[in-house]
């Protein structure tokens, strides 16, 4: 029977694209011999002691709902962790909300703050969900392009130029998915001063902050005048290899957390209790396993970036995250053509840079969250393919 149900779909939902990443991941998953540098997910299994905490909680019969904001014990651990790592303190009782991944918190933050038509600035290329999430919250997304020559760091000047009346929110993500870009402290201070001058709110997605290889990660929330206007988002998916647990959190002034909590309460109720128990264990005892994984990513990054450069695909050094973002324009193909041909002909899956916004044109994202051996084999396959096909 013909499916005519499309006519029932709301216009603002029909208007947003599907994630380009998932499409490539699905192709790679169907090809048995393909090496996937496609999906942004750790190749490590969650450390055993964290899994054990979830198993133990289940054994003890912890199968209930929790407080809407999350277990108080978890919020206390988050408060300690955030204070130590980001040098900004939040009350576990009123200023922290635990949700289903950073994903849910992005949605909650935007829905809690945006009135229809409010504008949101974000740097691009960026995580695929930002612009659609703004549209779903009836806001207007305004991209600030970033460039390889600046290591894909947003410059204060570009931000100032992009600003227009009605801009209420600035979304930041350092280190950045898909480029690994970060901004240095001086530039971040200028950005913070501009945000204060224009009375904007920052949604700061710091999900890759532990995976910073060069220099120290600085949170904009810790800068003068910023705590009162920042929603700091963080989670467990990347650094603790806990994507399937679906736990993330928001730290912000009480009135903002209260607004986000109301939406969360009605649409999600609470994050799963077993995952919250596992998250407590990750924060209490997970640091050494996390540092070991970071060491592996660091080693892989150095290898894969050097190989891309040797292959004539110029690649800046990502200062954090587990993504390399090489320039493939020398192949004479668009990002989409390049990624499509390479997956079919060389059996290496990478995501076209344009999946992360128009300013990703001419690049592909290669996730090095796969084994060192896979990276050797993937870059060898790519080298052979380039030798045959470069125009």
The smaller minimum CB distance to ligand PLP, of residues 204 and 346, is found at: 204
3-state secondary structure of 363: strand
Q: What is the smallest separation between the CB atom of 94 and ligand PLP, expressed in angstroms?
A: 22
Q: What is the smallest separation between the CB atom of 387 and ligand PLP, expressed in angstroms?
A: 33
Considering only residues 122 through 141, tell me which ones interact with ligand PLP, judged by CB under 6 A. 127
The residue from 103, 179, 275, 369 that contacts ligand PLP (CB under 6 A) is 103
Q: Which stretch binds ligand PLP (CB under 6 A): 95-103, 216-224, 366-374, 378-386?
A: 95-103
Taking CB atoms, the residue at the shortest distance from ligand PLP is: 101
Please tell me whether residue 40 binds ligand PLP under the rule CB under 6 A. yes
The smaller minimum CB distance to ligand PLP, of residues 53 and 102, is found at: 102
Q: What is the smallest separation between the CB atom of 103 and ligand PLP, expressed in angstroms?
A: 3
User: Is the torsion defined by CA of 270, 176, 297, 376 positive or negative?
Assistant: positive
Binding mask 216-245 for ligand PLP (x = CB under 6 A): -------------------x-x-----x--
DSSP 148: G
Please tell me whether residue 348 binds ligand PLP under the rule CB under 6 A. no
End-to-end Cα distance, the chain: 47
Q: How far is residue 208 from each of residues 30, 52, 147, 248, 309, measured CA to CA in Å?
A: 29, 24, 20, 12, 24
- 328 Cβ partners below 8 Å, 6+ apart? 313, 335, 338, 362, 363, 364
Alpha helix stretches (DSSP H) within the chain:
11-14, 20-30, 48-59, 72-86, 101-113, 130-136, 156-162, 185-197, 254-267, 273-285, 287-310, 335-341, 372-389
Contact 122, 356 (CB under 8 A): no
Considering only residues 139 through 178, tell me which ones interact with ligand PLP, judged by CB under 6 A. 173, 177
Please tell me whether residue 205 binds ligand PLP under the rule CB under 6 A. yes
Please tell me whether residue 101 binds ligand PLP under the rule CB under 6 A. yes
The smaller minimum CB distance to ligand PLP, of residues 311 and 369, is found at: 369
Alpha helix stretches (DSSP H) within 141-272:
156-162, 185-197, 254-267
Residue 102 CB: number of other CB atoms within 10 A? 26
User: How many whole angstroms from its chain centre is CA 13?
Assistant: 22
Please tell me whether residue 102 binds ligand PLP under the rule CB under 6 A. yes
Q: What does residue 143 show for φ and ψ, rounded to 5 degrees? A: -85, 140
Contact 86, 222 (CB under 8 A): yes
Q: What is the smallest separation between the CB atom of 243 and ligand PLP, expressed in angstroms?
A: 5
Q: Which stretch binds ligand PLP (CB under 6 A): 82-90, 101-109, 330-338, 382-390?
A: 101-109
Please tell me whether residue 318 binds ligand PLP under the rule CB under 6 A. no
The residue from 121, 207, 261, 328 that contacts ligand PLP (CB under 6 A) is 207
Please tell me whether residue 286 binds ligand PLP under the rule CB under 6 A. no
- What residue ranges bind ligand PLP (CB under 6 A)? 40, 101-103, 127, 173, 177, 205, 207, 235, 237, 243, 248
């Amino acid at each position: 029977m013909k499916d005519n149900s499309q006519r029932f779909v709301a216009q603002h939902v029909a208007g947003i694209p599907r994630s380009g990443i998932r499409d490539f991941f699905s192709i790679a998953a169907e090809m048995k011999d393909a090496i996937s540098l496609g999906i942004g997910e750790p190749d490590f299994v969650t450390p055993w002691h964290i899994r054990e905490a979830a198993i133990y909680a289940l054994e003890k019969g912890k199968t209930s709902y929790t407080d809407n904001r999350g277990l108080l014990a978890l919020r206390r651990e988050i408060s300690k962790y955030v204070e130590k790592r980001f040098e900004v303190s939040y009350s576990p009782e009123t200023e922290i909300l635990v949700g289903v991944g950073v994903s849910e918190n992005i949605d909650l933050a935007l829905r809690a703050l945006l009135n229809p038509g409010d504008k949101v600035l974000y740097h691009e290329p960026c995580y695929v969900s930002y612009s659609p999430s703004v549209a779903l919250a009836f806001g207007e997304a305004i991209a600030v392009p970033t460039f390889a020559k600046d290591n894909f760091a947003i410059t204060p000047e570009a931000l100032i130029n992009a600003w227009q009346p009605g801009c209420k929110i600035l979304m930041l993500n350092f280190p950045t998915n898909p480029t690994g870009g970060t901004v240095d402290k001086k530039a971040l201070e200028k950005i913070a001063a501009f945000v204060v001058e224009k009375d904007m709110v920052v949604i700061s997605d710091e999900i890759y902050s532990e995976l910073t290889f060069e220099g120290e990660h600085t949170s904009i929330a810790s800068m003068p005048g910023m705590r009162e206007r920042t929603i700091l988002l963080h989670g467990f998916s990347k650094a603790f290899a806990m994507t399937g647990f679906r736990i993330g959190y928001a730290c912000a002034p009480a009135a903002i957390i209260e607004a986000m909590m109301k939406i969360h309460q009605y649409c999600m109720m609470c994050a799963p209790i077993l995952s919250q128990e596992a998250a407590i264990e990750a924060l209490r005892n997970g640091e050494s396993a996390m540092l070991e994984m970071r060491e592996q990513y660091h080693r892989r990054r150095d290898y894969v970036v050097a190989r891309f450069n040797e292959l004539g695909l110029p690649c800046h050094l990502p200062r954090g995250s587990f993504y390399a973002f090489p320039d493939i324009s020398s192949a004479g193909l668009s990002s989409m053509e390049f990624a499509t041909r390479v997956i079919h002909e060389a059996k290496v899956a990478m995501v076209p840079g344009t999946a992360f916004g128009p300013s990703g044109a001419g690049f592909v994202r290669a996730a090095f969250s796969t084994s060192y051996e896979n990276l050797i084999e993937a870059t060898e396959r790519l080298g052979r393919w380039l030798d045959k096909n470069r125009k």
